[in-house]
Chains A and B, each alone.
Chain A
Amino acid sequence: QSVLTQPPSVSAAPGQKVTISCSGSSSNIGNNYVSWYQQLPGTAPKLLIYENNKRPSGIPDRFSGSKSGTSATLGITGLQTGDEADYYCGTWDSSLSAGGVVFGGGTKLTVL
């Protein structure tokens, strides 16, 4: 059981837009920043978004992040078949004794 809640799966057609939600609490998302990771099949996760809405160099602006209260959202526009992957949110959790990192359970994106 993950600390952060994500939908198990989402799907959309090529060229369309999809959003993936990540729900937490005041001890994690509500008072800390969120990061997002893309895990293509058989590969290591890759950083997509950090500090809620910032993109590392090389990540296209089709990927966006936002946060409101105790929830965060990853948006992907202009879907491509190469976007089929598992997506994870992560954040700092202040309820852990010295603080620590928690993840969502992951969302599998299918591009129909």
Chain B
Amino acid sequence: QVQLQESGPGLVKPSETLSLTCTVSGGSISSYYWSWIRQPPGKGLEWIGYIYYSGSTNYNPSLKSRVTISVDTSKNQFSLKLSSVTAADTAVYYCARDTIVVEAAGTANWFDPWGQGTLVTVSS
């Protein structure tokens, strides 16, 4: 079955750029949406944004000015860059496969599966 694994630095300095990669194994990255979601310590989930395998993106408006999500289909990977980080960006970052279905009764969206998550701490 499809598995996802996040990788990247666990410590980032304030004002610098956070960079993470999600590697998809057990299936192709094609024909799906792929999302990043984060969870500050002891808090709830926040959707960061998604990318379609073709490269189209959609970001959370609250983070849009600082976020870039990209995809490398040849490596079956997608990546997150978050610029100008502060302590408020300290969180566990998850990648997940995102299913989005537009139906007559509305849009259905769900995340499955998820990566195990990686803690990124912003500190000098």
- Interface residues of A, Cβ cutoff 8 Å to B: 2, 31-33, 35, 37, 43-47, 50-51, 56, 88, 90-92, 94, 96-106
18 contacts between A and B (CB under 8 A): A31-B106, A32-B107, A32-B109, A33-B105, A44-B115, A44-B116, A45-B45, A45-B111, A47-B113, A50-B112, A99-B107, A100-B49, A100-B61, A102-B47, A103-B45, A103-B47, A105-B44, A106-B45
Asked whether A47 lies within 8 Å of B46 as measured between CB atoms, the reply is no
Chain B residue contacts of A51, Cβ below 8 A: 101, 108, 110
**A97/B61 contact (C-beta < 8 A), A44-B114, A88-B45 known:** yes
Closest partner residue, chain A, to B56 (CB atom): A98
CB proximity of A54 to chain B, nearest CB, Å: 9
| Interface residue B35 (Cβ < 8 Å from any Cβ of A) | yes
**Do most interface residues of chain B lie in helix, strand or loop, or is the interface mixed?**
strand
Interface size on B, residues (CB 8 A): 28
CA distance A106 to B44 in the complex (A): 6
* Pairwise interchain contact A37-B61, C-beta atoms closer than 8 A: no
Q: Is the CB of B44 within 8 A of A2?
A: yes
Residues of B close to A104: CB separation below 8 A: 44
Q: Which residue of B lies closest to A105 (CB)?
A: B44
By a CB distance below 8 angstroms, the chain B residues around A37 are 45, 111
CB-CB nearest 3 A-B residue pairs: A33-B108, A47-B112, A32-B106
Does A94 contact B107, Cβ atoms closer than 8 Å?
A: yes
Complex-state Cα separation, A104 to B116, whole angstroms: 21
B7 contacts partner chain A, Cβ-Cβ < 8 Å: no
Complex: A51 Cα to B45 Cα, angstroms: 19
Chain B residue nearest to A31 (CB atoms) is B106
- Which chain A residue has the least Cβ–Cβ distance from B47? A101
A50 touches B110 (CB 8 A): yes
Task: Check A92–B108 contact: CB distance below 8 A.
Answer: yes
Complex Cα distance, B48 from A96, in Å, reads: 13
7 additional contacts, CB 8 Å, given A45-B111, A90-B47?
A: A32-B107, A35-B111, A56-B112, A99-B107, A100-B47, A100-B58, A100-B59
Instruction: Say how far A25's CB is from chain B's closest CB, in angstroms.
Output: 13
The distance in angstroms between the C-alpha atoms of A32 and B109, with both chains bound, is 9
Q: For B78, what are the chain A residues with a Cβ–Cβ distance below 8 Å?
A: none
